[in-house]
A and B are shown apart, each in its own frame.
Chain A
């Protein structure tokens, strides 16, 4: 067993290095089955965070875990399941993707990682698809109702909305895993 290297903040100067053309387009936005997953990152005062980065990792529409490379140079056809979106000046991030299917029978969710200047380490969370499949989910079932709702995306006209609240009223449930 080796001791893990500590994380450090992503800082304010990641924009030239981590974002890249097509980073947030897991599928071409105009495709028939494309949905938008988007939201804001908000701080403890409810102020949008303009220097955050959200990463998305998800199964395809059939619930298969993508194993293909190509996220950094997309070919427009291969679904790699991964992307990143830096927040804009309004704290808004957005992905063009597909709704994930259920992986081995579990409730479908988008796995998200959140980075920001001022955040000393990355945060993990889940954005569940709204719907009846959530009843039996062990994570959601273990949370009080008011916190559970922070992990469920809201359906909107183009897809799903999901705000990340770093602190305070409606603070998003952030996750840690065994062996962290």
Chain B
């Protein structure tokens, strides 16, 4: 498809508005719609049949374990992976990973990836003509602590263009990958920054049709996390879906 054949932002925004109108008054949807035509690449990639509900069994009641063997201490600081300081606004992003009952998800893997300050990924398929930063890969990992807290030091990513429609821009975001204590809790999502003017225009944010649910994707600026002459700070808590396994005695003790 040539750029001329792409839909305009006005056409995409009209589609977004029409779908927003289908959310019943008082209805709530916690997850994105899989069938969301304004996000053009979803058209052939979403299941058309309802998801089939099943009680988790066997392996599904457990999640893989990760430890310090898997993740090095420096992997949570995306600003020290090169030989010099990356360009951009240094910031801390931290928060807690909780399960559906509000309990901390302890000692579990969190992975992130993001564009640099100019909105460019190191990914080969990113052809956006913004500068690569030789001191920034945009990838990090950490383990949550005993309180379920994760913490990354990174650079604030820039917004970037994509080819969903003409003049399409993604709001600045960090991709997050999370595990719980059960297979059923696996989550990949994106964290956004407060008051981004691109939210309403972006069909990926808008796959989450319920505005209250969209708010759960937005971090809060937290001045107590900012550090004197060093970095700003954002807080973002992540809640996974509910668990099913009856805790064993070991785990109960662990939770005490």
Task: Name A's B-contacting residues (CB within 8 A).
Answer: 1-18, 43-45, 47, 49, 55, 57-59, 63, 65-73, 80-82, 100, 103-104, 106, 109, 111, 113, 115-124, 138-139, 142-143, 147, 166-168, 171-180
**Is A122's CB under 8 angstroms from B188's CB?**
yes
Set of chain B residues within 8 Å of A73, measured between Cβ atoms: 69-70
Question: B142 near A: Cβ within 8 Å?
Answer: no
Q: A6-B214, A17-B113, A177-B56 are in contact. Are A12 and B125 (CB under 8 A)?
A: yes
B70, chain A: closest CB distance, angstroms? 4
Cβ contacts under 8 Å, B126 to chain A: 13
6 contacts between A and B (CB under 8 A): A3-B30, A4-B239, A9-B39, A66-B65, A71-B70, A122-B187
In the assembled complex, the CB of B248 is this many whole angstroms from the nearest CB of chain A, namely 12
Whether B7 is near chain A, meaning CB under 8 Å from some CB there, is no
Q: Which of A8, A47, A118, A119 contacts B217 (CB 8 A)?
A: A8
Contact: B31 with A80, CB < 8 Å? no
Are B69 and A59 neighbours in the complex by a CB distance under 8 Å? Answer: no
Contact residues of B between 99 and 115, Cβ < 8 Å to A: 99-102, 109, 111-113, 115
Going nearest first, the 8 A-B pairs with the smallest beta carbon separation are A179-B242, A103-B58, A118-B41, A17-B113, A69-B67, A82-B64, A72-B70, A176-B51
User: Can you list, as one digit per residue, whether each of B167-208 has a CB less than 8 Å from chain A (1) or not (0)?
Assistant: 000000001010000011011111000000000000011011
Is the CB–CB distance between B123 and A115 below 8 Å?
no
Out of A15, A47, A106, A178, which one reaches B57, CB within 8 Å? Answer: A106
Contacts of A45 in B (CB 8 A): 44
Contact A178 B238 (CB under 8 A): no
Q: Which residues of A contact B121 (CB under 8 A)?
A: 13, 16
Given known contacts A5-B189, A122-B186, A179-B100, is B48 in contact with A16 (CB within 8 Å)? no
Chain B contacts for A139, CB-based, 8 A:
52, 54, 57
- Report yes or no: A6 in contact with B189, Cβ–Cβ below 8 A: yes
A65-B32 contact in complex given A5-B217, A9-B207, A10-B188, C-beta closer than 8 Å:
no
Q: Is B12 an interface residue (CB 8 A)?
A: no
Residues from chain B with Cβ under 8 Å of A115 in the complex? 188
Decide: B54 and A43 in contact? CB cutoff 8 A.
no
> Which residue of chain B lies nearest to A71 when distances are taken between CB atoms in the complex?
B64
Give the distance to chain B from A65, nearest Cβ to Cβ, in Å.
5
Q: In the bound complex, what is the Cα–Cα distance between A66 and B141 (angstroms)?
A: 22
Query: For A49, what are the chain B residues with a Cβ–Cβ distance below 8 Å?
Result: 45
Q: Is B16 an interface residue (CB 8 A)?
A: no
Are A4 and B69 within 8 A (Cβ)? no
Judge whether B67 and A1 touch: CB under 8 Å. Answer: no
Rounded to whole angstroms, the CA-CA distance of A11 and B187 in the bound complex is 14
Contact call A6/B32, Cβ cutoff below 8 A: yes
Task: Tell me, yes or no, whether B59 is within 8 Å of chain A by CB.
Answer: yes
Given A67-B65, A175-B53, does the pair A180, B241 have CB atoms closer than 8 Å? yes
Given known A-B contacts A72-B71, A167-B46, A15 and B239 have beta carbons under 8 A apart: no
Residue of chain A at shortest CB distance from B28:
A3
Decide: A174 and B51 in contact? CB cutoff 8 A.
Answer: yes
CB distance from B125 to the nearest CB of A (A): 6
Looking at A10, A81, A180, the one whose CB has the most chain B CB atoms below 10 A away is A180
